[in-house]
Structure 1
Amino acid sequence: EFKIQTSQYDSGYGTRVPNTNLITRSGENQFHGDAWEFVRNDIFNANAFFRNATGQPRANLKQNQFGGTIGGPIKKDKLFFFSSYQGTRQVNGLDPDASLSTLLLPPLTNDRSAATIGSQFCPANKAPAMQTRYLTFAGGVQVACDGSNINPVALHLLQLKLPDGSYAIPTPQTILFSGANAGLGFSSYSLPSAYDENQYLLNVDYVISKKQTLSGRFYDATANTLRSFGTNFFRSPETPNTPGFPENEYDKDYITSVKLTSVLTSNVANEARITCTLANIDETGPGVPSAASIGMTPATPLFPEPPDFTIRGSLGGFRLGNIHNDYRSSTKTYSGEDTLSWVHGKQTIRTGVFVFRQDLQSFSSQSRGRITFQNFTDFLLGMSAAQNGSPQGFSNIQSIEANVGLGPRGEVVRSYTIDHGSAFVQDDTKITSRLTLNLGLRWEYLPPSWGPSGDLGNAWPSLLQLAPIPPASGTYLGTTVPANYNPNQINPYTGQPFGSPPAGVFVRPTKSYYANGAPLDSFAPRFGLAWQPGSKQTRVVVRGGYGWFYQLPSDGGNAPNTAQNNTQPFAQLFSDTGASNSASTLQKPFPTTTLGFVLRTPASRLTDRVIGPDFLIPKLQQWNLNVQYRFSPSLALDLGYVGSYGNNLLLAYDSNQPLLATPGHPVNCGLPSTPAGLGVSAAVFGTVGVDALGCVTTNTSANAYLRVPIVGETPTALQAHQSLGASWYNSMQATFRQQISHGLTFQVAYTFSKSEANTTVYNDQRNLNLDWARTSFDRTHRVITNFSYDLPSLRTNGFGGAMLRGWSISGIVIVQSGLPMSLTDRNGGSVYGFAGPATITLCPGATYKDLVTSGTTGSRLRNWINKSAICNGPAIGSDGSLGYGNTGQSIANGPGQFNTDFSIGKTTTVRGLREDAQLAFRVEFYNALNHPQFSNPGTTLGTANFGVITQTSVAPRLIQFGLKYLF
């Protein structure tokens, strides 16, 4: 049984809102148990929408879930047990995250010779109206029509075949003949994933005496997962994975909990609990060729596999490989709590303490790296800016990202310890027979996570600003290491110790990223009431509550906007975009990995990262007010308001966004005024706009890295993770419920809400006030209806009566608004070195309402967005490079959702192990009406996926059969 704490007034709960309690059964003096099997098979299912659209057969789906429970006495009235087992065996070709991939592809054929590919994709062979589609994003050299300049690495990948004989970059299943993407390939692939899990649970309860009970809970689970298209972690829906790059995952989880319940007096009780958990994850990407075999140099020699290739643009969008396929972690958690309860007259008072420690060690997956191309023709060339003659100084590889470190395969090894303590007091008082007040106060001790191995690298803004333009000899100012930095740690790339921090490196006073520890004033008040107005009426009840909740920051977890990377000296972060990545080629996309302390010079292009340095605890305030009117003992209406406000929330923004220069107001005066001083050729120096005084006087894409506030760091470096975010949530909630009456139970719940935050930063990285917008999960309207009806039993004896009795039906219907979309422009922000995502630019006179086309969902799958309302972004640079757009975030909605799940079942008394033993049979229909429900379209202007829907959000109709024997 799961219980989710949603009220605000109980101070016994803190952090991790909403709190979820998992309650498992205990044994009794009689033996009870059950056994079950639930079965799914694709012969009963409908086909997926896009599988139908491309003429592909129904996807494979076979699932068996089976198990049983048994509980009873070991020693009557003294010692009891309850145990369960559940096994899952699944082969699933319908999982949209792991098994299905619908792609817009370049119109490749099975002839993968350089001459054929050159003829297909050179702009010179196309009609004038179609040439733009085939131009590279970098500009300069284009694909030769004879294929003579196709990069050997690209050609090798195009000719690479998978074990089944198909190409790693697929030949499309179909070619589109109409619409904006006419001539491109459209394919829907289903590769069955597999999931095998075994779960074991054992509960033991020992009655020590009438006043004391000792309980133990033991859980063990092992799972093996094959994801045919790799992990979905941070996967963009605009670049789905191609077949051939799966992921194997092994999970092992243990939970042990021991509780002592003591009745101290007739009105005082105490509950003490100790819990230990262990969670291990091991993910690997099998079957990938080595980087050397296709002519590439990997991001690190310790991980000799090729990177993730992400290809987007006007010729389709897809990914070859997956940067997040390789990951390992081990998480150990220890907690203890004690709660004392005292009932005194009309008061119930509880007080307690809680302590918690979590040790996490993970091996990051990002040593594989990722390279991104803004068009398929850029991939075909794979040249540096010097080779392709890009007028904006772009390599054909638009961006690179990798994080390499000390792990055996070059992984970043992240070790964190998270400590947490709390204490609370709660007073629930019945003031009168019609008014109850709940008053509570909780104190939280929440220090930042810290690294026991002393390897948490960080850069501090205040120290970087001491030398915004570094000397030619370089500086280490800005680099910091923790108090427990270990100079004897061996650098695997040199075989030598890292050594003592050089002059300029600051040793932080703490073992965390931050300058300070836990604030000691984190008190969280709670208040609640339940009031029945009047003196005699029994139909109306008013309930309300208010509370503060401090959240547990996680610098190493998967929470949004927490840092996932590490930097010097024990790790090296590559995150270069645009002209900062000008030297990248397909043969060698990444700089050479060295680790250690790296000097910042005017010619360097570092990508360090900032956390803090001030540590603040995120805080959430929640409140509600609810009125319930009961029409009858079984029929009631609830109408209420629920709201919340969060502050000190973590957000991430690019703090090194370039400044804008003019001849009258130059920037960064004092730069070297020679090509050698900037580490560039004389030809390049003539394009970067640096005058004789070392001042930058012009704005271009090529000189963005010289206009940054901290020279020597790229425009996309110094991503700052700071507690500057806030959020609002407001909602009206109405629930009409019928408790069981004549066999019928139903509930209709409607929510009208708005969720806003500024924790995702687009456009100008220096003006966070512009980022207030609806959150990505906001749904304005949401209606959920659930019902259960026990069909009337006919009073008939014998076999006929047994067959007609015990039938029931139930269902859940969900109707909700679509999710918000933020529309971006891949060309936007180029004058700022692509420091942050740029939104689109609305044409004069157009409004947000003009952005979404009209008609049925099915008629708009390829044109959800009205492109005629969108214009080119503002040209700011002297080279025509663009600024940011004039729109905000979450400015339009995607498709809504209408889903119905339905089940029919029968319960029959069959005896057997017990006289009252029952057999329950169920048939469950998921998406019973087989209603296609779609994900949002692509949202990046300038790509083939923009405004095109290629994914469904809900599986087609699935049917599951279940059989359960209860005794």
Structure 2
Amino acid sequence: MKKLLLPFVGTIICMALLGLTTPVLAQSDSGTVTGTVTDTTGARVPSVDITIASKATGILRHTKSNNEGVFTVSSLATGTYDASFKATNFAPLEIHDIRLDVGQTFTLPVRLDITSVQTEVEVNAADSGLDRASAEIGGVVHGSQAQDLPLNGRNYVSLVALVPGAIDSGTGTQDQVRFAGLSAEDNTWHLDGVDNSGINHQYEKVAIRLQPSTEAIAEFRANSAGYSADQGGTAGGQIELVTRSGTNKFHASAWEFLRNTYFDATPWGTSGTLPTLRLNNFGANFGGPVFHDRLFFFTNWESLRQNQNLSVTGTVPSASFRAAALAKSPALAPILAQYPIGTVAIAGTTNALTWYGHAPSTDREDSGLARLDMHIDGRNDAFIRYNTDHYAVVTPGDLTALGYTTLTTPNIVFGVNTAFSPALTNNVRFGFNRAAFTQGATNTLPYSVVATGNFSTLDDATGSVRYDNSFTLTDDATFVHGRSTFKAGVTVRRIQENKSSPSTADEVYTYATLANFTNNLMDSDSYAGVVPLTGQRMTESFGYILDQFQFTRELTFNVGMRYEYFGVDHEVQGRGIIVDPLNCANVICPTGSEWYSPNLANFSPRLAVSYAPERLRGKTVLRAGYGIYYGNGQFGNLGTPIGNLTDKYTLNQTNAPGLSFPVTPYLGSVATSFSPSGSPINRRDTAVEEYTLSVQSDIAPRTTAQIAYFGNHASHVFSDVTLNGYILGTTKRPYTGYSTIDYRGSSNDAKTNALQASIRRDFSTGLLLSANYEFSHSLDNGGLGGGEADIPQNYNCHICEYASADQDMRHYFSASTIWKLPVGRGHMFLGDSSRVTDLFLGGWQVSGIGTARSGLPINVTISRSASALPDNLNKNQRPNLNPGVSIYAANKTPTNWLNGAAFSAPAAGTWGNAPRNIARAPGLWQLDTSLQKRFPVTERFGVTFRAEAFNLLNVAHYGTPAHVFAGSGFGVITSSFSSAATGTGTPRELQFMLRTDF
């Protein structure tokens, strides 16, 4: 009975919370207009008739100010609105061009003139850049930016890092974007208000680019820190995308983007011919009215075809090493034969060479989207949207083989918004999200070979299959009473994960040192057999209430409470072997036990205060906020019992003395070498305390600047440790009959402090400018958050791991601009030019993205035999640090980055004393630009040509230096930052576009 009731406990508590007040809340994928109506004396004016009109669709929303003069109109689609205010004995007022962004609460102080003559007053909306409703750090990216900025790969995720508080530590994919020092697994991705994550991971497992197409995005908001109680489900960034809708006018466009190697610079570190590339990205949009002012449609289709011949680089055995190894260990012949022949010498060693080769890589992606929006009547609006993306890629798997991946991601949402009265609105949505994924490789070896720090890894052909689904139901409303705008809501998310991973056996042979490889003394043989198709299930239930209270015209409070129950993961047929040696007798927990205890006390208070003093004419707002945020990390990490359904073992020189290739003679030791995965049955959800302090100011028309501080402290952060090492001073393990145990829990801590500055100028001026700078420091003892953690070198000394986080990026700067040049008819320059002159000189637009960022930490490690360590656990071992010697070379260059003289090998039976993450990789900076010209054919029909240059100045972007001490080429950078055809860190690349539109 307990197991049947627990999944509903969270929902019951959520409903109880909502019962404490009138049901309320606004969807974070829509917008809200709120404000206070006063007269010229400052007295509040009740019963004012208010109409909010969409300029795109003509849809009207009506409300009245209450007895406190307060009004709120919620669940408004993003776009531009006009507002009118009418009251007896007051002059009518019209406010035009209210730009409402996704998730924005637009505060509109309204002052009516007392008059006996009904003279209408028209004004433009106040600047929309100030946030008087919350203390969040974040920002909005408009569709014009997604469509007009130069994006290398046409992936909207490349724009997320343009938002304050966000960083991109990689090449612009979902798994590399982080917020406020937390993990990529701590982010929430929503599309039109429902789940759009990768389900197993919060991010998609592969770098898909068209989910959704940038051409289908109206805009998106990314909140980094300090957001209010209406958002959550994870402790990190909240990304809300909104798709485009049809309007009262028909619009259509068709386009193609073209890339070719012929126009690109040679990648740094490439030897021989330039890798070939052919990239075609094409698609079309069509939208408009089905019934004027009533029913609208929008459709989008986009496809991508990319063919490359990639440069592949590796470190391989030299001819002399091959001969020496074969002479000593003839059994190694099948392994050595898999390494290609190297051609370029490596300084400081005769045992290895650098090999350069080429391999084919193909990407094929097709996406589609259809949306219907219906204005049912003056109280009800509804919409339905469906999109899907079909992705298939073949790419180099290791030095000689190819890997293949497919992913299909259908997503559907249906929503209804109802205005029950001027004071009460409700918004309900139901959505379905799916990730159907397959992965494999063409490797001929049935095993992987890792020669740590010496040669490139040879992979086996392991793969996985998964069909993951999520169902999301949200119900939100807004209720206005007195000076309060109450908001509340419930979200229930059902997760289904059906997988076989690995779907083919995975076996890894590891040689810790060059001598061991030469002598065929294998340090470990780790085996994981096929996992049967299993079905994990979990139900999440969230609820919240908040009050946005307008204490005065200057002072607003946002006070809320959120409750989050993440449920308990389980297998639909009751399968799974629960391993927890720290809490269960005999290592394995009783059959039928819950995988872990539920976390029922995740109450998240949120508080924000904003102050916009009248003496500064309402042009400056001071904001402060505090909140607690919960998350349960990567969903896949909750299912360790599933992975134990297959044979898993680890052999080493201790439990299988003389272990060597081939391993068949040593398999008799498997019976006592079970190497399961475990996790604590009393696990805790990650809890993040977050605080913000910021000042925003309108420094010019449509131009807002911000200076902010934010910090957080995360406890119960994801941890990954290896248990069952030798009891110190002995050769016995605490848990007999088992080899090592991978134990994934929540025992780490992390914290971040950051200073952030930004400026933004709205595109309505013809010049969009957005710039952000962040100076931050993130520290942890190995766990970043979500599912990212380093295994400690010494399980008994977690404090020894405390250092800068793996993703600690001290300096991060990003900027973007779009400028419609004021040249041609109707503009500042040549405004009265002829049509012929305007055809050539008018309609030009330039845009660009600039990025500069610090290098990430490097953890210098050393490869050691397990027998040389006190606990026999050879994981992330570090060397000794020689005092007084610089860890960097005297003159840092890519071929001489780290100084080997700064390190030395620890004595047998001791751990190294070098701190974790002691060094830094090279930083990165680049400038992407575009120039485009629209040639009008008729008043509405035109053709646009665009040329884009990514990394315009062809800055060399270096990868991470070899950081295994005493390995081949230690401290040498042998590869570029990115080998991908798209994203950040490529050499200079040119792209061309042709578009027709009406």
SS in 2 for 1:43: helix
- In structure 2, which of residues 311, 315, 326 is the aligned counterpart of residue 104 of structure 1? 315
Quote how far apart the aligned CAs of 1:433 are. 1.4
Assess if the C-alpha contact under 8 Å between 1:764 and 1:836 holds in 2.
Answer: no
- In structure 1, which of residues 725, 748, 772 is the aligned counterpart of residue 802 of structure 2? 772
Q: Deviations over 1:52-87 (max 9, x none)?
A: xx3x11111111111111112233333322111001
Q: CA RMSD in A?
A: 2.6
SS in 2 for 1:432: coil
Quote how far apart the aligned CAs of 1:429 are. 1.9
Assess if the C-alpha contact under 8 Å between 2:569 and 2:639 holds in 1.
Answer: no
Assess if the C-alpha contact under 8 Å between 1:399 and 1:576 holds in 2.
Answer: yes
**Structure 2: how far apart are the matches of 1:330 and 1:620?**
31
Matched, 1:284 2:430: no
One-letter amino acid of the structure 2 residue matched with residue 362 of structure 1: K
SS in 2 for 1:579: coil
- In structure 2, which of residues 405, 424, 441 is the aligned counterpart of residue 249 of structure 1? 405
- Aligned position for 1:452: 572
Quote how far apart the aligned CAs of 1:262 are. 1.0
Quote how far apart the aligned CAs of 1:415 are. 2.7
**Structure 2: how far apart are the matches of 1:824 and 1:253?**
39
**Structure 1: how far apart are the matches of 2:643 and 2:501?**
13
Matched, 1:426 2:546: yes
**Structure 1: how far apart are the matches of 2:679 and 2:749?**
18
- Aligned position for 1:730: 753
SS in 1 for 2:561: strand
- Aligned position for 1:130: none
- In structure 2, which of residues 328, 344, 349 is the aligned counterpart of residue 174 of structure 1? 344
- Aligned position for 1:639: 707
- Aligned position for 2:232: 14
733-742 or 918-927, which moves further after superposition?
733-742
Matched, 1:955 2:997: no
Going from structure 1 to structure 2, the CA distance change for 1:740 and 1:340 (only over 3 Å counts) comes to closer
Assess if the C-alpha contact under 8 Å between 1:399 and 1:581 holds in 2.
Answer: no
Assess if the C-alpha contact under 8 Å between 2:651 and 2:669 holds in 1.
Answer: no
One-letter amino acid of the structure 2 residue matched with residue 712 of structure 1: G
SS in 2 for 1:800: helix
**Structure 2: how far apart are the matches of 1:591 and 1:261?**
67
Quote how far apart the aligned CAs of 1:725 are. 1.3
1:129-278 to 2 correspondences below 5 Å:
143=325, 147=327, 149-151=329-331, 154-159=332-337, 168-176=338-346, 179-181=347-349, 184-227=352-395, 229-230=396-397, 241-243=398-400, 245-278=401-434
**Structure 2: how far apart are the matches of 1:890 and 1:777?**
10
Going from structure 1 to structure 2, the CA distance change for 1:739 and 1:459 (only over 3 Å counts) comes to closer
Going from structure 1 to structure 2, the CA distance change for 1:255 and 1:444 (only over 3 Å counts) comes to same
Quote how far apart the aligned CAs of 1:21 are. 1.4
Assess if the C-alpha contact under 8 Å between 2:922 and 2:958 holds in 1.
Answer: yes
1:532-611 to 2 correspondences below 5 Å:
532-533=612-613, 535-554=615-634, 556-557=636-637, 566=642, 568=644, 570-582=645-657, 584-588=659-663, 604-611=672-679
**Structure 2: how far apart are the matches of 1:550 and 1:38?**
42
Report percent identity of matched pairs: 21
Quote how far apart the aligned CAs of 1:347 are. 2.6
Q: Deviations over 1:364-383 (max 9, x none)?
A: 1362322122356755654x
**Structure 2: how far apart are the matches of 1:757 and 1:34?**
49
Q: Deviations over 1:682-711 (max 9, x none)?
A: xxxxxxxxxxxxxx5xxxxxxxxx332223
One-letter amino acid of the structure 1 residue matched with residue 294 of structure 2: K
Assess if the C-alpha contact under 8 Å between 2:225 and 2:710 holds in 1.
Answer: no
Quote how far apart the aligned CAs of 1:872 are. 2.1
**Structure 1: how far apart are the matches of 2:523 and 2:664?**
10
Assess if the C-alpha contact under 8 Å between 2:494 and 2:539 holds in 1.
Answer: yes
**Structure 1: how far apart are the matches of 2:282 and 2:950?**
19
Quote how far apart the aligned CAs of 1:220 are. 1.9
* Structure 2 gap segments, 5+ residues each: 1-218, 784-789, 825-829, 978-984
**Structure 2: how far apart are the matches of 1:797 and 1:841?**
74
Quote how far apart the aligned CAs of 1:8 are. 2.1
Quote how far apart the aligned CAs of 1:539 are. 4.5
- Aligned position for 1:617: 685
- Aligned position for 1:328: 465
Quote how far apart the aligned CAs of 1:884 are. 0.9
**Structure 1: how far apart are the matches of 2:253 and 2:764?**
28
Assess if the C-alpha contact under 8 Å between 1:658 and 1:709 holds in 2.
Answer: yes
- Aligned position for 2:902: 869
SS in 2 for 1:587: coil
- Aligned position for 1:47: 266
- In structure 2, which of residues 451, 455, 458 is the aligned counterpart of residue 311 of structure 1? 451
Going from structure 1 to structure 2, the CA distance change for 1:592 and 1:203 (only over 3 Å counts) comes to farther
Going from structure 1 to structure 2, the CA distance change for 1:445 and 1:843 (only over 3 Å counts) comes to closer
- In structure 2, which of residues 521, 528, 532 is the aligned counterpart of residue 403 of structure 1? 528
SS in 1 for 2:457: strand
Quote how far apart the aligned CAs of 1:961 are. 0.8
One-letter amino acid of the structure 2 residue matched with residue 319 of structure 1: T
TM-score by length of 1: 0.74
Quote how far apart the aligned CAs of 1:452 are. 1.5
Matched, 1:888 2:901: no
Quote how far apart the aligned CAs of 1:284 are. 2.2
- Aligned position for 1:59: 275
Quote how far apart the aligned CAs of 1:187 are. 2.5
- In structure 1, which of residues 796, 815, 818 is the aligned counterpart of residue 852 of structure 2? 815
- Aligned position for 2:298: 82
Assess if the C-alpha contact under 8 Å between 1:579 and 1:833 holds in 2.
Answer: no
- In structure 2, which of residues 559, 570, 579 is the aligned counterpart of residue 439 of structure 1? 559
Q: Deviations over 1:942-962 (max 9, x none)?
A: 310421211211211111111
Quote how far apart the aligned CAs of 1:640 are. 1.2
**Structure 1: how far apart are the matches of 2:809 and 2:634?**
27
- In structure 2, which of residues 774, 778, 796 is the aligned counterpart of residue 751 of structure 1? 774
One-letter amino acid of the structure 1 residue matched with residue 390 of structure 2: T
Going from structure 1 to structure 2, the CA distance change for 1:261 and 1:594 (only over 3 Å counts) comes to farther
Matched, 1:38 2:257: yes
**Structure 2: how far apart are the matches of 1:345 and 1:190?**
69
Quote how far apart the aligned CAs of 1:265 are. 1.0
**Structure 2: how far apart are the matches of 1:567 and 1:334?**
25
**Structure 1: how far apart are the matches of 2:664 and 2:758?**
57
One-letter amino acid of the structure 2 residue matched with residue 284 of structure 1: G
Quote how far apart the aligned CAs of 1:401 are. 2.0
One-letter amino acid of the structure 1 residue matched with residue 903 of structure 2: I
Quote how far apart the aligned CAs of 1:19 are. 1.6
Assess if the C-alpha contact under 8 Å between 1:905 and 1:921 holds in 2.
Answer: yes
**Structure 2: how far apart are the matches of 1:593 and 1:799?**
86
SS in 1 for 2:416: strand
SS in 2 for 1:855: strand
Assess if the C-alpha contact under 8 Å between 1:761 and 1:836 holds in 2.
Answer: no
SS in 1 for 2:243: coil
**Structure 1: how far apart are the matches of 2:381 and 2:916?**
55
One-letter amino acid of the structure 2 residue matched with residue 101 of structure 1: V
* Structure 1 gap segments, 5+ residues each: 94-98, 109-116, 123-142, 160-167, 231-240, 290-304, 383-395, 405-409, 467-476, 481-505, 599-603, 662-695, 697-705, 877-882
Q: Higher strand proportion, which one?
A: 2
Going from structure 1 to structure 2, the CA distance change for 1:960 and 1:641 (only over 3 Å counts) comes to same
- Aligned position for 2:591: 507
One-letter amino acid of the structure 2 residue matched with residue 57 of structure 1: T
SS in 2 for 1:535: helix
One-letter amino acid of the structure 1 residue matched with residue 348 of structure 2: A
- Aligned position for 1:840: 878
Quote how far apart the aligned CAs of 1:875 are. 2.9
Quote how far apart the aligned CAs of 1:592 are. 5.2
- In structure 1, which of residues 458, 479, 490 is the aligned counterpart of residue 588 of structure 2? 479
- In structure 2, which of residues 487, 490, 509 is the aligned counterpart of residue 371 of structure 1? 509
